[in-house]
Structure 1
């Protein structure tokens, strides 16, 4: 009986470790996306995405809520086009939820161009686990210049 109990604890621990491992892997992918952006490296950036992910931004202009639909290509071009200042998206309080091969992350951010604050908001990442690798399938974000979450 004691051996059975020990085995059950061990298996529970392994299951928990695997869940943590996936959470760490998702966290790493998200951080690598922002590392590639800071480096201006569009080649590194695109490898963290599925082909043709959803890329959207929700923002307010002149009192109206607008939805902009972009593309990974647009994002990669913006990141990879030489620019003097570093595009630096600072994130905090990342919250990740995982169910099997699906992950969702709530990612508050502040965006800086060089040292100058540009805007803030929240990114919502959706990731899928394909062939053992987590890939971004969708990003939708909000953008504003006040009431930042951190």
Structure 2
């Protein structure tokens, strides 16, 4: 009987410790998201670049079907409904613009102590006007105790064609 109680207490303790770590990781990931958004507003490329994995990072945007149809209507020579880029190119474009902001809503985090995925709805703003919006998916890795972005995938609905309701 004592052995069963000891095993039960050990199991409960391990689950409690695991839950505490998961909660701490989620707080750290929320801080990463906030740092990302703030570095855009503040045009802080040093902080922005520090949020990313030092190896290859995927950066892919895919234009949603309705917006792509409108783009083709305006310019029939448009073929691709996607683009690839880098986070360094993205922040450089932010530095050239007068005022930019990206807002996140409906954030969902799934993680263990080494990897995580984050999904959310985003809207991108330039000069206080929404330019595009959609869904965004990040893959994260925990390197030397710090969460880093290793992949960014996002859909794009163009606001001038389809404003966010």
Structures share a fold, TM > 0.5? Answer: yes
In the other structure, the counterpart of 1:16 is 19
Could you say which structure has the higher helix fraction?
A: 2
Residue 38 of structure 2 corresponds to residue 35 of structure 1: yes
Q: Please give the root-mean-square deviation of Cα atoms over the aligned residues, in Å.
A: 2.1
Residue 88 of structure 2 corresponds to residue 73 of structure 1: yes
8 Å contact from structure 1 (residues 107, 124) kept in 2: yes
Aligned ranges for residues 37-52 of structure 1 at < 5 Å?
Answer: 37-51=40-54, 52=56
In the other structure, the counterpart of 2:132 is 119
In 2, the alpha carbon distance for the partners of 1:43 and 1:90 equals 20
In the other structure, the counterpart of 1:62 is 72
Q: Provide the TM-score with structure 1 as the length reference.
A: 0.86
Aligned ranges for residues 76-91 of structure 1 at < 5 Å?
Answer: 76-81=91-96, 83-85=97-99, 87-91=100-104
Residue 148 of structure 2 corresponds to residue 135 of structure 1: yes
Q: Provide the TM-score with structure 2 as the length reference.
A: 0.79
8 Å contact from structure 1 (residues 120, 143) kept in 2: yes
Q: Where does structure 2 lack aligned partners over 5 or more consecutive residues?
A: 74-78
The verdict on how the C-alpha distance between 1:147 and 1:20 changes in structure 2, with shifts beyond 3 A counting, is farther
Could you say which structure has the higher strand fraction?
A: 1
In the other structure, the counterpart of 2:76 is none
8 Å contact from structure 1 (residues 56, 67) kept in 2: yes
- How many residue pairs end up in the alignment? 147
In 1, the alpha carbon distance for the partners of 2:26 and 2:80 equals 33
